Chain A
Amino acid sequence: METGGGLNEAKRWVEELVGRAARVASGAELSKLREAAGDRGSPLSSLYRSMKAIDPALRPEVGRQLQELRSQLDSALEAASAAVLAQEVEATLEAERDDVGGYLCRSRYEGIGSLHLITMTRMELEDIFVALGYAVTEGPEVESEWNNFEALNIPKFHPARASQDSFFLDFGDEESTLLRTHTSPVQIRLMQAQKPPIYAIAPGRVYRRDTPDARHTPAFHQIEALVVDEGISFANLKATIESFTSAYFGPSIKARLRPAYFPFTEPSAEFEITCTICGGSGCRTCSGTGWIELGGSGMVHPKVFEAVGIDPEVYSGFAFGFGIDRLAQMRAGLPDMRVLPENDLRILAQFRGRR
């Protein structure tokens, strides 16, 4: 009787404490609970202490039940302690709450800058030609009349000079120096400096005395390719233009050549590509023809070889060139080229992230 009463009391007490433990909401409550559980006067402690007084026959069973109550209480406390810890962590994290949007919604002008649209286009073109095995070369923007015209078989009064109206400089003899009107003088420099074989491109800035419009600025950019080697033919020129255009524009874009006249090449050809807007079916951009004119090309003229001292009986070569700006304009859908020299940040910022 005695024993059963003490056990029941201890059970009730443990039940109450386990119930409290499930509701513990703070570290302070947890401490109080631990204090209560360790109270030497608690029914559980009293029962332990009175074990000797219990009938030895019942003792093992009582001991087992006591042990069970103790472990119930211990796990409840442990769980409560974990819960409190979790609550504290959660509270700390909650206190640190912040809205990511506050950091993302910033001025569009903040952050990284950008390469110029022209540079991006130029680098992509360079990469294509580097992959085709060409070297990249450059020349000065200020040139001699000889390099820019004379050596390229464009003597004075040649009609081709009129179509490349030049900015001559107040420097040296009259009309002896100018801002280069095309990248072709780099060809001359290359052939004078280097024995064939030559496989090179020359990207760069050129100047013409034209009135600016939506597609032209007085300073603009060209890229020129020159190959001089033994056994170079028009068939090689054609293949090179084809592989360049399909590398840059994609395999669905075809290239074609048609006869043209340039003083520094013969045979000469203009090259066109499938219109990238309509895919060849005809639209306003291509004036309904399905083709867009891209640049000029041809076999290096014997007079050019003569000017630079390369023997045309041993070597032959081809050259071709085209505008970088037009490709850049197409790439970005830029309606008017005249905004570029202004360096308006509101334009430049839109070059960011382009490929």
Chain B
Amino acid sequence: MKVTLQWLREFVDLSTLGFDGDPIGSSRDERVVALVGALNELGMVVEGVEIVPAGLDGVVVAEVLEISEIEGADKIRLTRVDDGEGPLRPVVCGAWNFQVGDKVPLAKPGTTLPNGLNIGSRRLKGVASEGMLCSPAEVGISLESGGLLILDASAPVGESLASHLGLEDDVVIDLAIEANRPDANSVMGVARDLAAWLRVSFFEPELVPVTVAEPANPFKVDSALCDRLVTAEFSGVEAASFPAKLARRLELCGMRSISPLVDASNYVMLEIGQPSHPYDLDRLSGGAIAVRAAAPGEQITTLDGIERTLGPEDICIADGRGAPIGIAGIMGGRETEITGGTTRMLLEVAHFDRARIARTSKRLGLRSEASARFERGVDPSIAERAIFRFTQLTGLDVPTALVHASTYTLPEPIWVETRKVMATIGHDDLEALLAVFDRSGPLEAIGLDCQPGEGGFVVTPPLYRPDITGPHDVIEEVARHFGYARVASKMLRGPGVGLTPVQRFERQLRELLVGMGFYESWPATLVAPGEQLDAGTSSGWVALSDPISALESTLRVTVLAGLLRALRYNVARRMPMVNLFEIGPVFSQDGGSGGLPRETRRLAVLAATDGDNGLEAIGSTLASLRDFCRPGALRVAEQGTIGGSWWPSLHPTRSCALLDGNGSVVGVAGELLRSQVAGGGQIPAEQVNFPRYGYLEIDLDFLSAGSGPGQILPPSVYTSSDLDFSFAVPHGVSIMDLHAAVSSALGPLCQDLFVFDRYTPETDGDSYLGLRARLESPEGVIGEAITRKLIESVDAAAAGLGARLRRG
């Protein structure tokens, strides 16, 4: 909402801020800064300040005394004008809407117009031209540039145009008005709030001298849709005028100046917040309107020339025959629009149901200045005032205002306990706080009637504050007009429980991965269906009902679907060493609770090494993660793909499922297929080389639920012994199984057991595996007898799996 300083000053005495008439040079002028500060403190946030000088020094009223052709020119003519300074002035002009005797604005040489144009003396087609005759747009009072601005015949020649039109230097202030401040969608409302805050006078506009009457045959109004309808008929409207000074204000506030009648209607709306709609009475069938619910499928062409289809939720204005002629409170129809030829006019001033206007406006995608005001709330009692102001602005004869409907209800009084005011705001100086309720205090100044009672106040809000319905609404006004800045801060501390063990674990996990060389990525949770398929899931994902783009149209079922995008992005930019990790959510259709899709969090790690072996790249990460769990809690299952749509599929012969102690799948680890990385040709394969990537995705709840390793045990004081085993392993025997078997055969003496050597022959024969055990005993050095016994057990355990311990 834009307001201008001069407009505000018609309603509020701003002399306390120092505004007196001295020119304002910039938005850093201290008076402007003070005004902006006051508006901000009231919650009408200033989003912009523009200094707009009248800018018309050197533009005067001139009379056209001669018009003549210029040889060889058919678009311009030579005029001689009287500017009151003696000899007639030759001015070449390209406009055609004037004749000898017209009074027009003349910009003398040396003038700079508001649009920045510098006017000088020059020669056109060999003819001298001393200045320029101006259009309304050129002097900044409207966008109209079709011809010269024709002034009153009575305008005194030589008078400065600014003073003739009453144009002033002004300041345009752009305000962000919150949804709970319908009153502030008008200059009057802003001024009222400001006057209350500054504790200065608010000038109530002149009272309404229109005759108000009940019509003999009131128009039909559905009272559920419209609780106030007042109309007035005007004749001889072709004689209506609208002051140029005010037209300029409309332009400054962002509305186009169109015609005296439309301008006046708009001006009233900006000034007091009441929208109105003019109809051409001669085009209005039956000379009457009605307010009703639209019929399903009813059609209407609105002022903007668009045909719109209405439904029973919409409020429709109908003519005397019942045909639709407007969408109530939003936009009128083309059929009954006033034009340059209109002589008789009906002005509709109404109050419509807020919620319905909001719904219709949203459904049609049609938001107007009027609908914005109706959906926030308009004072239903100011229709007559609007009609009077309209009449005053246009200079038309005072009509009779006919009240067809008036069923609105008055606001209920609200009981506000002093105790509650104090408790909510928490300011200890109660006397200062409650002064806001005083007679002629700020609450009363903004229209809240406050009657003191036992331990509180009975507060009746005005009709222009429909947002105030309960004590908390009143308390907000108390705080606002007391001043948020004046409330004394009171320190508060919570009980201090700290981070939970799970939260600490998560931080530790992140730090671990960072230390291992992984970068944390931004979770791409919204992915394309193709990315879900590339990650190896085929269904079960949740789609957005109205995505912005297909690339972000579904919620990922696996983290991989999102990480593939990051991987491809980097590989395509020749950054193939992609080491990323992420802790983020995955979603699926099935398995959720509380009416929501399933959402769980996972850790995912994507790893690359120079070695071109994805398993090598991910192995140490997986081994480190295992250390976060209780021993044996994280197990590796048979190699191969995992069924279901809940986990990604990786390289089928170079991956495995991760199991918890109960054998349930809690994750997957392995290598990505090259085709998964390359995607549907997103990476030009012949251009970019990329290694094999290791990948790990694991349930975060599983990781964080395990309470980690147990008690710390002191190491043995006796010398340890290393024992190397070499096995011939036939195809199909898993290293994990063999490791587990050997480990259990060695029993508690075995402190460490790891692969130290591997050999896989080219041919189909057995592969060879070297396991090294570190044996320690708290009871003493491990002697040969025990060692021999252990070797026998290992031999037997290996044989049990089909592997053979190579001895000797």
Total interface residues on A, using CB and 8 Å? 84
CB distance from B474 to the nearest CB of A (A): 10
B546 within 8 A of A: yes
Known contacts A133-B496, A170-B543, A235-B426; A142/B596 CB under 8 A: yes
> Are B496 and A115 in contact (CB-based, < 8 A)?
no
Contacts of A232 in B (CB 8 A): 492
> Are A236 and B517 in contact (CB-based, < 8 A)?
no
Query: Which of A52-60, A81-89, A97-105, A343-351 is found at the contact surface with chain B?
Result: A343-351
* Chain B residues numbered 459-515 whose CB sits less than 8 Å from any CB in chain A: 470, 472-473, 475-476, 479-480, 484-485, 487-500, 503, 507, 510-511, 513-515
Interchain CB contact (< 8 A) of B552 among A177, A218, A266, A348: A218
* Chain A residues numbered 300-344 whose CB sits less than 8 Å from any CB in chain B: 301-302, 316, 340-344
> Are B507 and A123 in contact (CB-based, < 8 A)?
yes
Q: What's the Cα separation between A135 and B178 when bound, in Å?
A: 32
> Are A236 and B426 in contact (CB-based, < 8 A)?
yes
Instruction: Kindly supply a per-residue 1/0 record for chain B positions 421-461, scoring 1 wherever the CB is within 8 Å of any chain A CB and 0 otherwise.
Output: 00111110000000000000000000000000000000000
> Are B362 and A162 in contact (CB-based, < 8 A)?
yes
Interchain CB contact (< 8 A) of A113 among B518, B522, B595: B518
Q: What's the Cα separation between A170 and B589 when bound, in Å?
A: 9
> Are A341 and B495 in contact (CB-based, < 8 A)?
no
* Chain A residues numbered 113-151 whose CB sits less than 8 Å from any CB in chain B: 113-116, 118-119, 123, 126, 130, 132-136, 140-144
Known contacts A159-B358, A170-B545, A235-B487; A340/B522 CB under 8 A: yes
> Are A142 and B599 in contact (CB-based, < 8 A)?
yes
A176 within 8 A of B: yes
> Are A343 and B545 in contact (CB-based, < 8 A)?
no
Query: Which of A10-18, A27-35, A67-75, A237-245 is found at the contact surface with chain B?
Result: A237-245
B710 within 8 A of A: no
Q: Name B567's closest neighbour in chain A (CB-CB).
A: A343
CB distance from A217 to the nearest CB of B (A): 9
CB distance from B457 to the nearest CB of A (A): 17
Interchain CB contact (< 8 A) of A114 among B473, B493, B496, B520: B520
Q: Name A291's closest neighbour in chain B (CB-CB).
A: B40
CB distance from A274 to the nearest CB of B (A): 14
A80 within 8 A of B: no
CB distance from A186 to the nearest CB of B (A): 13
Query: Which of A1-9, A40-48, A254-262 is found at the contact surface with chain B?
Result: A254-262
Interchain CB contact (< 8 A) of B594 among A144, A260, A288: A144
CB distance from B146 to the nearest CB of A (A): 37
B532 within 8 A of A: no
Per DSSP, chain A at the interface is mixed
> Are A171 and B589 in contact (CB-based, < 8 A)?
yes
Contacts of A268 in B (CB 8 A): 476
A285 within 8 A of B: no
Q: What's the Cα separation between A349 and B579 when bound, in Å?
A: 11
> Are A115 and B476 in contact (CB-based, < 8 A)?
no
CB distance from B612 to the nearest CB of A (A): 17
B41 within 8 A of A: yes
Chain A residues with a Cβ under 8 A of chain B: 109-116, 118-119, 123, 126, 130, 132-136, 140-144, 157, 159-160, 162, 167-172, 174-177, 179, 197, 199, 205, 207, 209, 211, 218-219, 227, 231-236, 238-240, 242-243, 256-261, 266-270, 288, 299, 301-302, 316, 340-346, 348-349, 351
Chain B residues with a Cβ under 8 A of chain A: 27-28, 40-43, 45, 178-181, 355, 358-359, 362, 375-376, 423-427, 470, 472-473, 475-476, 479-480, 484-485, 487-500, 503, 507, 510-511, 513-526, 542-548, 552, 555, 565-566, 569-570, 573, 575, 577-581, 585, 587, 589, 594-597, 599
17 more A-B residue pairs beyond the given contacts A168-B546, A259-B479, with a C-beta to C-beta distance below 8 A: A113-B514, A113-B579, A116-B522, A119-B520, A136-B499, A142-B596, A169-B597, A177-B595, A205-B525, A209-B548, A219-B525, A233-B490, A235-B426, A259-B476, A261-B181, A343-B524, A348-B520
